[in-house]
Structure formats: structure tokens, C-alpha cells
Copies of this chain bind each other. A is one copy, B any other.
Amino acid sequence: MFEELLQGVGEWLKGRGPDSDIVISTRIRIARNLDIFPFPNRISTSEADKLFRNLQEAAGKSKTLKQLKFFRMEDIEPLDREFLVERHLISQEHALWPKNKAVMLSEDEIISIMVNEEDHLRIQVIKSGFDFVTGYRLASKVEDEIARKVKFAFHSDIGFLTACPTNVGTGLRVSAMVHLPALIITKRVNKILEFVSKLSFAARGFLGEGTQAIGNFFQISNQVTLGLGEEEIIDNLSSVIRQLRRQEIEARRYMMTKFRYSLEDRIWRALGILKTARIISSQETLQHLSLLRLGMDLGIIKGLSKELLNNIYISIQPAHLQKLQERKLSHAERDIIRGNLLREKLGGISV
């Protein structure tokens, strides 16, 4: 399943969006619930089936939704579910407990709708680079097209109702994945993230909530959705992201001026290890890839594209490795196969 996705990366990882050197991607997520069904934690299988039918009917009549493919999560093998998590299309929870759940996916991996995750609908749009505007426009369009056929749970005082109170109101969560190696190397990042958190934004790791900030990636998102308008939420986060990007650029400039040799040394060694390791963990790989990305951004490493690099990030993950090998792999085997894959993908990059 999903073989057509395996070799490449989603549109959002092709590196074509604005400022996609530092702001890898932006994500819009809208939570909605239908007023005729209980929340997903209490929904029955027959009700879930009815919800699925409603959505498929709505999709059939909508230009945008028609292009989405519908899958019941229970029809997807565990490895393939994990594969979708690694591609950032569904949450870990959605993969682990498939009962009464479904997902709708666009071929280019820009739109995904989780059905019966925490809420009936989690509409997600991911865009390459710093691009909340077109992302939000598309997510709203998807929401509108669904709203034509179903009625959302809505309270005139507080807005859209959701399973968790933190989402009540707009149901909107916006986030950006930012790459901040220079702020980490120069040890400025903690201060900056404290400031981000004081403004009620959350900073999380590579795979979202609960994951660690490995590989110098941070996912910055709004925490509050109640009492703020959609535009306000997006404007506030945009302003934080703009500042982070500026600070990261400044830290890079500082490093290039003050200790260029030792920075180049770290970058080249990272490439050297990635091109030679025979056993390499996912965590170690992400650390080196971060330096490689920095080297590419600074023009130190030539011949590398954002698309190739993002492709590597995605491909070295466990489910991807196992799908590529078409068999289950032990932890130890994965570390070997990961090395093989890295050498293959980086074969054209000269040391």
C-alpha cells in the first residue's frame, strides 16, 4: 500500500515554498465535529460508519475533496499506518488505535483529513516554507466544502466545539517546522524558546507533540484558540516565526564571521560520516543531516538540493526502511540499512 508515495516526498517537502531554508514547512489544522454524533471517544461503530458515508458523499460532490482518497484505518496494515505517521499525514494515536477511524489523503500529500481522531475531523494542510496564507485558504476551502453537506457542532458564544477544551473556539492550530542549528550551536536557543513559550506558543520536536527536538528542528504552534480570531492566530505565529528566522540568520552570520573554520569542519565531518557509516542510528543521522542542511544553506556543501535532503529525512525512518526492503527489520538491521541508504542517496555529493 502507498507504494506510489514511497520513493518521493510530498509536495510540502520539495523545498519550493518561501523561506524554506529555515522554515521547512507550515501546517494548518482545523478541528471540527458533526453535531449529530458523539465525540470519537464515545462513537459507536455504526455511527462511525455513518460518518464515513456522510464524508464520502460530501467528497463526491466537491471539487477539492473528490481528489482525496478515503481509507479506513483498520484496512491499513500496521506498518503502512506507521508509514503515514512518518510522512506527517496522521498522528501516532491515529495509527496505534485504528478502530472506527479513517483518513482522507490528497496524492500530493498537502491535504489530509483524520476522521475520528480526537475530533470527528482534523483537516490538515501542509505547505512548503513559510506560507500560512495559502495553507489557511486551502484548509478553509476544504472545511467549507464539507460544511455544505454536514452540520458542525457550534455554540454561538464560544464557537466550534471540540473534544479537548484547548481547541474550542476556532478549532485552529497553526504550526511551523523551523530548523535552528545556529541558534543551538551558539546556545541562544533556550532563551528564545522561553520567550516563545511566554507568548503562549509551544515548541515541539520533529514528529509533533511529545517528541524531542532532535536534528535541531522545532515545531512552533499556537496554544490558544479560544477568544482569538483565525487571522489573529496566524498573524501572531507568523510574527514569532519571522523573528526566529531572523535570529537564526543572524546566528549563522555570526558563526561564519567568528568561527568559520570550525563550523566548516563540523559540517564536512557530518557529510564524511553520513557517506561512510555502516551502522547508524536515526538520532545520529538527524544530527548530521542538520549540519548538512546548514552547509547547503550556507553554500558550503554543493550539489545538494532541499528535495534530496528532505527525501533522506523521510526515507531513513523505520517504516520507510522496512517498506523499501519489503520486510520487517530488527533495530540492528535498520541501522545497517540506513547506512546503505545514506550512502546511496549521498553518492553524488563530493567530499
Q: Which residues of A contact B (CB under 8 A)?
A: 261-262, 264-265, 268-269, 271-280, 336, 339, 351
Contacts and interface: CB of A to CB of B under 8 A. Distances in A.
A269 B339 CA distance: 11
A277 B270 CA distance: 9
Given A261-B336, A336-B261, A351 B275 contact: yes
B273 A277 contact: no
Contacts of A275: 272, 351
Contacts of A279: 261-262, 265
Contacts of A351: 272, 275-276, 351
Count copies of this chain in the complex.
Answer: 2
A261 to B, nearest CB: 6
Contact of A271 (B261, B264, B276): B276
A273 to B, nearest CB: 5
Contact of A268 (B262, B276, B336): B276
Given A265-B278, A351-B351, 7 more contacts: A261-B278, A262-B278, A265-B339, A269-B272, A272-B273, A272-B274, A272-B277
27 contacts: A261-B278, A261-B279, A261-B336, A262-B278, A262-B279, A264-B278, A265-B277, A265-B278, A265-B279, A265-B280, A265-B339, A268-B276, A268-B277, A268-B278, A269-B272, A269-B273, A269-B276, A269-B277, A271-B276, A272-B272, A272-B273, A272-B275, A272-B277, A272-B351, A273-B273, A275-B351, A351-B351
User: Residue among A264, A273, A278 with the most chain B CB within 10 A?
Assistant: A278
A340 B83 CA distance: 43
A274 B265 CA distance: 11
A280 B315 CA distance: 32
Contacts of A276: 268-269, 271-272, 351
Nearest to A264: B278
A264 B340 CA distance: 13
The 3 closest A-B pairs by CB, nearest first: A272-B276, A272-B272, A265-B278
A193 to B, nearest CB: 30
Contacts of A269: 272-273, 276-277
Nearest to A346: B351
